[in-house]
Amino acid sequence: MAGEALSFQERRTRILELVRQRKKVTVNQLSEILNVSPATVRGDLRDLDRQRLLIRTHGGAIEKSRASFELNSSKRSMVNLAAKQAIAAAAEKLLEDGDTILLDTGTTTIELAKRLVSLRELTVVTNDLEIALIAEGLPDAEVVLLGGSIRKGYHCTVGPAATRMTHDLRVDKAFMATNSLSPDAGATTPDLQQAETKKAMIAMARKVILLCDSSKIGLESFVRFADLDQIDVLVTERIGDEMRTVFESQGIEVVVAQEGESQQIAVPE
């Protein structure tokens, strides 16, 4: 068998990545790739199926890809972590001292929030409770938390109160997360209230930067919150030439995170 031994959590994260990339995998394929026994793989697939992270089949697993399906925050944090960290590192280079920024709720934007420690005189607007706590610990940042109803399981605020608050605010850059991105549907999400909040956030921004790992490109979710012409920059860790050309033809600057950019910067306690 090929490959290095992975920890329990790393192994299951890798399984989820492979299922998303390939749509369908077998126990034998996973056993060889992960360098573990078929019995270990079957146990992993059984537990991941119980968590509704994939669909276990006879001899393997397939992607759980319904348009209305959405992982909660804790489960999303398991998926494609290395890619999200690389994207966050690339997105950090788009920031400057004195920026007023919006950080949308999402596991990739959380990784970006962890990297803001070296910047000065930031104003951070967010609807994500975890991002607000991270930003509160930054040495030189003002934090504005959008009000609204808390979306249970997703650690963020949504609804009319959140969108009303955005009407009086303007930010230099909005760093947005997405569940899916396609040339036809634009940026989409499974939840109607989340989509309305995201639309209001985009309206606040002079520049819209979409953080999207490659597993979401080419997919579509239930509700569109941004057309391609509303997105100024796409930051991803990998993209095919054909898809890149499509996005660039719509005026989107495509930034591809370079390997080795994911080194973390510790947030002060």
Q: Where residue 54 falls among pLDDT bands split at 50, 70, 90?
A: confident
Q: Where residue 219 falls among pLDDT bands split at 50, 70, 90?
A: confident
In this predicted structure, what is the pLDDT of residue 69?
Answer: 46
Closest by alpha carbon to 12, among 65, 55, 48? 48
CB 126 within 8 A of CB 110: no
Answer yes or no: is pLDDT of 53 > 50: yes
Answer yes or no: is pLDDT of 193 > 80: yes
Q: Where residue 63 falls among pLDDT bands split at 50, 70, 90?
A: confident
Mean per-residue pLDDT, 50-54: 79
Rounded Cα distance between 239 and 215, Å, is 10
**pLDDT over 90 percentage in the chain:** 65
Question: Tokens representing 60?
Answer: 């393997």
The partner residues of 209 in beta bridges, in order of sequence, read 175, 233
More confident residue, 78 or 145: 145
CB 172 within 8 A of CB 99: yes
CATH of span 8-65 = 1.10.10.10
More confident residue, 13 or 141: 141
Assign domain 75-256 to a CATH class: alpha beta
- Backbone angles phi and psi of 211, in degrees to 5: -100, 115
Rg (CA), the chain: 19
Answer yes or no: is pLDDT of 60 > 80: yes
Rounded Cα distance between 100 and 205, Å, is 10
Q: Where residue 5 falls among pLDDT bands split at 50, 70, 90?
A: low
In this predicted structure, what is the pLDDT of residue 66?
Answer: 53
| Cβ contacts of 10 within 8 Å, gap of 6 or more | none
Query: 223: exposed, middle or buried (C-beta count within 10 Å: 0-12, 13-18, 19+)?
Result: buried
Residue spans of the domains in the chain: they are 8-65, 75-256
Answer yes or no: is pLDDT of 107 > 60: yes
Answer yes or no: is pLDDT of 3 > 50: no
Q: Where residue 44 falls among pLDDT bands split at 50, 70, 90?
A: very high
In this predicted structure, what is the pLDDT of residue 77?
Answer: 46
In this predicted structure, what is the pLDDT of residue 190?
Answer: 87
Instruction: Check: pTM over 0.75? Answer yes or no.
Output: no
In this predicted structure, what is the pLDDT of residue 125?
Answer: 98
Closest by alpha carbon to 171, among 144, 149, 152, 196? 144
Rounded Cα distance between 205 and 150, Å, is 23
In this predicted structure, what is the pLDDT of residue 10?
Answer: 78
**pLDDT over 70 percentage in the chain:** 88
Mean per-residue pLDDT, 110-118: 96
Return mean pLDDT, the chain: 87
More confident residue, 221 or 74: 221
In this predicted structure, what is the pLDDT of residue 215?
Answer: 84
Rounded Cα distance between 226 and 193, Å, is 14
Q: Where residue 17 falls among pLDDT bands split at 50, 70, 90?
A: confident
